[in-house]
């Protein structure tokens, strides 16, 4: 099952190809993944883990002042 990420959700594009990720459900796991399978770019967790995806796909020169907040909520 493939679920698109709603446009109002703050979500980085794939750092490799620039596509917006989508969500797949695999048994009890939720996988936030690039639609381009060759990227092998995904975050698998028991919830849809936007925080981890955004951290992994944030370009190095775009790290904002909110890093502190992400650490606290992670
Ligand atoms: Zn990609």
Closest CA to 56 of 21, 26, 25: 21
10-residue stretch averages of pLDDT, the chain, 74 residues long: 93 96 96 97 97 92 58 56
Cα of 65 vs centre of ligand 1, distance in Å, is 25
pLDDT at 37: 94
Q: Which residues contact 14 (CB under 8 A, 6 or more apart)?
A: 20, 21, 34, 36, 39, 41, 57
For residues 61 and 68, what is the distance between their CA atoms, to the nearest angstrom? 16
pLDDT at 59: 81
Mean pLDDT score of the chain: 88
pLDDT at 42: 98
Cα of 70 vs centre of ligand 1, distance in Å, is 23
pLDDT at 60: 73
């Amino acid at each position: 099952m493939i679920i698109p990420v709603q446009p109002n959700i703050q979500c980085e594009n794939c750092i490799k190809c620039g596509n917006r990720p989508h969500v797949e459900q695999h048994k009890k796991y939720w996988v936030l993944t690039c639609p381009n399978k060759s990227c092998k770019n995904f975050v698998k967790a028991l919830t849809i883990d936007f925080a981890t995806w955004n951290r992994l796909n944030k370009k190095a020169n775009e790290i904002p002042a909110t890093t502190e907040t992400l650490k606290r909520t992670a």
